[in-house]
Structure 1
Amino acid sequence: MSISVDSVRVGKKYFLRNIREYHEFTTVKALGEKDFLCEDIHTLERYLLSELTAYGKGSDYEFFELDH
């Protein structure tokens, strides 16, 4: 079962799959109530969490905290 955006914390690592796109990232900074600046673990690209979740949360949506 996926976690909610409400449970995201700065400095933690997450995995997100949405519409067949996969992202592993660390949250760098909180930007308001439900948005975060994120940094990709593999490419170090920075993006907003809201950009990743903007196009729906269908049956293929998964969002988990990584243990490592």
Structure 2
Amino acid sequence: MSTWIWIVLLVVALLAGIALGFFIARKYMMSYLKKNPPINEQMLRTLMMQMGQKPSQKKIKQMMRAMNNQMDSK
């Protein structure tokens, strides 16, 4: 009888560990991406120049603001 209790406790602890690990990893990645965004103004300027557009500072700021707003809304 005590063997199945240990098995149940083991399964519950395993599931709790997986869930806790997932949420800790998710929180860490969200804060990492907020501190180190995957794209910055220089990368955006280079991308626009490669596409044949002449990027103005106003347009770049507008696109960065839109990307940051989208990141914050998630």
TM range (shorter): under 0.3
- Please tell me whether Structure 1 or Structure 2 has the larger radius of gyration of its CA atoms: 2
Higher strand share: 1
Higher helix share: 2
TM-score, reference length from structure 1? 0.26
